[in-house]
Structure 1
Amino acid sequence: MSDQLVEVDGRRLKLSNLQKVLYPEAGFTKGQVIDYYARIAPVLLPHLKDRPVTLRRYPNGVDGQSFFEKNVARHAPEWVRTERLPTPGSSKGNEFLDFVLIEDLATLAWVANLAALELHVPQWKVGAEPDLLVFDLDPGAPATVVECCQVALWLREELAEGGYDAWPKTSGSKGMQLYVPLQSGEIDTWTYSRKLAERLAGQYPRQVVATMAKAQRGGKVFIDWSQNRPAKTTVAPYSLRARPQPTVSTPVTWQEVEECDHVEDLTFTADEVRARVDELGDLLDYL
């Protein structure tokens, strides 16, 4: 049988279609997705705590259609924590939505069972100002994560001059992100990130761009500072991505960033990330 009734931390949960392949190229099933999230939960859950989650669901696998889900599913168990939050400018005209907060293993297993492969969170916690400054480094072909690493090193230098530490992770897709932990409301993250991105684009015009126009990104790394808008989200650390292989947004060391020569150097699948965590723990240990 592909359906299974389980008890997770005292919560009863029905898992369905466990043999359904969600990553056809890898033969990676929904059961394996749920297993990955259950095993990675000790390092993932702290990064989700108090942050409303936007789910990206792939009910027919990574080759099928997907959709973003902000409002909690109608059939959610009563024990799933939600927060009603304002959503001004919503494309569907909703002034408020009930967001899921994933703070325990049972809720994490429940969203994984929805084929929510990707978990996206804002840079703030419910009821608080931003406590993270995020730079999303997006390479324009033929640039890759290798070029992102050089830009990340330049950003680290600039941030260090301002007294800030930066923590790198891969996006699990083509690029990477830098996280800068802050005291809640410490700075205007929107203005600070924009000015820093524009300064680097001015210093390294052949390698860096800080404008949204895709026509200007060819062969360069776009420093997406707009991720610091309150309404924006970034893929969570340890989230799977909807790529041909079950790659993961993976925390990395600065040594790995410095030594990256090939895309494969900073590409990690679910199994590899579990092994890394077993060996290294959570490399985003600013919490």
Structure 2
Amino acid sequence: MTPITEVEGRRLALSNLEKVVHPATGFTKGELLHYYATTADALLPHLHDRPLSFLRYPDGPDRQVFFAKNVPPGTPTWVTTAHVPRSEGTARMVVIQDLASLMWAANLVTEFHTPQWRVDAPDEADRLVFDLDPGPPATVVECCKVAVWLRERLAADGIEAYTKTSGSKGLHLLAAVERTPARRTTEYAKLLAVEAEKALPRLVVHRMTRSLRPGKVFVDWSQNAARKTTAAPYTLRARTEPTVSTPVTWEEVADCASPDALVFRAPDLAPRLEAYGDLLAPLLDPAHAGSLP
């Protein structure tokens, strides 16, 4: 029988709690749900008012993994949804606004991905993002060097950057910006990626071409486009271990000396939140929003 629980007055059926969804450590779906319940205070503000894309892995990352952007069949009527313009036509997407909705979505076993804009202004970005993706043999160590350069370059334009692990191989740099057409933030991000390649030619590539990427860090500026999404802070990733896209301090970035230095798993997050709070909280404060030059 599927357990029924109540979350903030909503009745939820939480299924297959003993199923292993991260096989390298035997991490179960029940543990996944517990993780999201205990990090919700930090996670929910970063999902608020942003339409979600789900990367689902209901039977683990080595089985079927698929993106879901439209509202899934059987979504409860109390889960907030929004009609969002897309190139192929308007789509109805999920917007997670509360703990009950978060736990319903987590029960689907998913990564959470968000755009850089909110549902009330789908063409206006309020975040700037760079996805730093290392091409082997480069690792997160090289990503950290690039991140420090980008932080300083953004600061020269009056924009304060924050960083988190991707939960996979690399890093994400994020900054709050005053609402700006997504086209403009994309252009600005590309400009800085090109500058980074010129300044660090042995370390950085700004083009996605696979043949250019071995041993370098691809500075992916394209995720600023209105149609693109980025893994949300605190989301678990569809990997064999329960790795998390984890906010990190600039001191941790500067001190990064090994490929494993910035790998965080679900059990690591509670003590980190207790020690640091939400390191990305400034992204939620309009007072921290920079203005593109």
Whether these two folds match at TM > 0.5 is yes
Task: Output one character per residue of 1:210-259: Cα deviation in whole Å (capped at 9) or x when no partner.
Answer: 01101100100000000100000000000001122100000000000000
Q: Aligned to 2:113, which of 111, 114, 120?
A: 120
* Residue 44 (structure 1) aligned with residue 43 (structure 2): yes
Using the TM superposition, give the Cα deviation of residue 186 of structure 1 relative to its aligned residue in structure 2, in angstroms. Answer: 7.6
Counterpart CA distance in 2 for 1:243 and 1:148 is 20
Whichever residue aligns with residue 51 of structure 1, its letter is R
Runs ≥4 in structure 1, deviation > 6 angstroms? none
Of 165, 168, 171, 2:160 maps to 165
Which residue number in structure 1 is paired with residue 148 of structure 2?
Answer: 153
2:95 — aligned with what? 101
Matched, 1:185 2:158: no
**Deviation sequence 1:105-164 (CA, Å, 0-9, x none):** 111110111111x10000001122100000110000000001000000000111111111
Change (3 A) 1:85 1:186: closer
Indicate whether 1:174 and 2:169 are aligned. yes
Post-superposition offset of 1:65:
1.1
Helix, strand or coil at the partner of 1:183: strand
How far apart, in 2, do the equivalents of 1:115 and 1:242 lie?
9
Q: Provide the residue aligned with 1:212 in structure 2.
A: 208
Identity of aligned residues (%): 54
The alignment of Structure 1 onto Structure 2 pairs a total of residues equal to 280
Query: Given the two structures, how large is their TM-score scaled by the length of structure 2?
Result: 0.94
Identify which of 216, 241, 248 aligns with 1:245: 241
Instruction: Assess if the C-alpha contact under 8 Å between 2:129 and 2:173 holds in 1.
Output: yes
Give me the whole-angstrom Cα distance separating, in 1, the residues matched to 2:218 and 2:187: 17
Match of 1:234 among 224, 230, 235: 230
Identify unmatched segments of 5+ residues in structure 1: 90-94
Match of 1:92 in 2: none
Q: Which residue, out of 105, 113, 116, partners 1:111? A: 105
SS of residue in 2 equivalent to 1:16: coil
- Answering whether residue 132 of structure 2 is matched by residue 133 of structure 1, we say no
Please give the residue correspondences for 1:241-280 in structure 2 after superposition, counting only pairs within 5 Å. 241-280=237-276
- Of residues 185-194 and 249-258 in structure 1, the stretch that sits farther from structure 2 once superposed is 185-194
Provide the rounded CA distance (Å) in 2 between the counterparts of 1:201 and 1:30.
42
2:4–2:12 contact (8 Å) kept in structure 1:
yes
Task: Give 3-state SS (helix, strand or coil) of 2:72's partner.
Answer: coil
TM-score, normalised by the number of residues in structure 1: 0.95
